[in-house]
Amino acid sequence: MVSRRELRVRVGPSGIHFFNRVTGLNFLIDEVKLSSRVWAPAPAHVSIALTNACELNCPYCYAPKISASLSFDSVARWVRELDSNGCLGVGFGGGEPTLHPDFEKICRYTATTTGLSVTFTTHGHRLTDALNSGLNGFVHFVRISMDGVGETYERLRGRSFSELTARINAVRKFIPFGINFVVNSNTLPDLDLAARLAAKLGAREFLLLPENPVRGRDGIDPSTLSLLQNWINNYRGPVPLVISESAAAILPGLSVLRGEAGLRGYAHIDSQGVLRRSSYDFQGTPITSEGVLKALSLLKERCGEDTL
């Protein structure tokens, strides 16, 4: 029997969405259209940057290079609010979220106090057996950044690639995982090898992240983007491909649920407590004592999205 905490039900413009946070199963009944009055007011998924701290200095990183970190009490208040307003899951990030002093406590609190799916994104090099064991049962999915393979990875990330694969082999015993892959002209040639390695390691998904313009960089160039689209069209690997909300518009075919685009589907809270459309968006609304949904309403007005 599936408990109510494991199984989430979200009503929205796409229909009635069932989601099991433990298995990752998604089931949509799109034949039933309910009134907008009963649609879930929170985004389906929210990412939360717990801290800007990180030992790496990747050139395409979006995290601001200022010292900032969220308090446990703030995160606890926000996840409770999101949980009670139809959000399906939260993803903790950074910087490097495992550097937050309350990281394990936050994951445990969210998993036991709410019905939200708990995920986090990491560079992977801090996934020790002690941390993996402590998170076991309290994190439903971990996303590990692997931009390039071998020498490409080591040149861009400045860390050992063999150490990364060892860390992945260690965490897979405790928590299901996926691979995040930033795509640019440097990493595109490694896509085939990276996808095969993801399958060999047992990844559940392969998340494509076309590089965004940030910190003076132009982002993915049109030629590389075209080659990436061709690669997606020809992909026949066993690991499912997914794509970020921010990239869905430029790479059709891996889109989000109809009707759940924009701030209905996704929002980001940065390490200073500002609600944004994505981690790359400069426009945001600070979350005050009135909560996340109030900030969401103001952000929708500012961005010209409907506020239903």
Q: What is the pLDDT of residues 76-94, one digit of tens each?
A: 999 999 999 999 999 999 8
pLDDT for the residue numbered 109? 98
1 falls within a domain: no
d(CA 69, CA 56): 17
78 falls within a domain: yes
pLDDT for the residue numbered 1? 40
- Structural domain including 265 reads 7-303
d(CA 239, CA 241): 6
187 falls within a domain: yes
79 falls within a domain: yes
Q: Assign residue 233 the CATH number of its domain.
A: 3.20.20.70
308 falls within a domain: no
Joined tokens for residue 129: 């057996």
Confidence class for position 2, pLDDT limits 50, 70, 90: very low
pLDDT, one tens digit per residue, over 89-115 is 999 998 999 999 999 999 999 999 999
pLDDT for the residue numbered 282? 81
2 falls within a domain: no
When divided into structural domains, the chain yields a total of 1
CA distances in angstroms from 51 to 17, 70, 176, 246, 292, listed in the order given:
31, 6, 23, 21, 18
Please tell me whether residue 207 adopts helix, strand or coil conformation. Answer: strand
For residues 154-172, average pLDDT: 95
231 falls within a domain: yes
pLDDT, one tens digit per residue, over 15-54 is 999 999 999 888 889 888 889 999 999 999 999 999 999 9
3: Cβ contacts below 8 Å, ≥ 6 apart:
none
Residue 12 has pLDDT above 80, yes or no: yes
Confidence class for position 257, pLDDT limits 50, 70, 90: low
SS3 of the chain: helix, strand, coil, percent, to 5: 30, 20, 45
Which burial class, exposed, middle or buried, applies to 184 when counting CB atoms under 10 A from its CB (0-12, 13-18, 19+)? buried
Closest Cα partner for 176 from 160, 198, 157? 198
Q: What is the chain's mean pLDDT, rounded?
A: 90
To which H or E segment does residue 78 belong? helix 72-83
133 falls within a domain: yes
CB 175 within 8 A of CB 142: yes
Enumerate the H helices of 84-188 as residue ranges: 103-113, 129-135, 151-157, 161-171
The residue with greater pLDDT, 87 or 280, is 87
This prediction's pTM: 0.92
Q: In percent, how much of the chain has pLDDT > 70? A: 92
Residue 252 has pLDDT above 60, yes or no: no
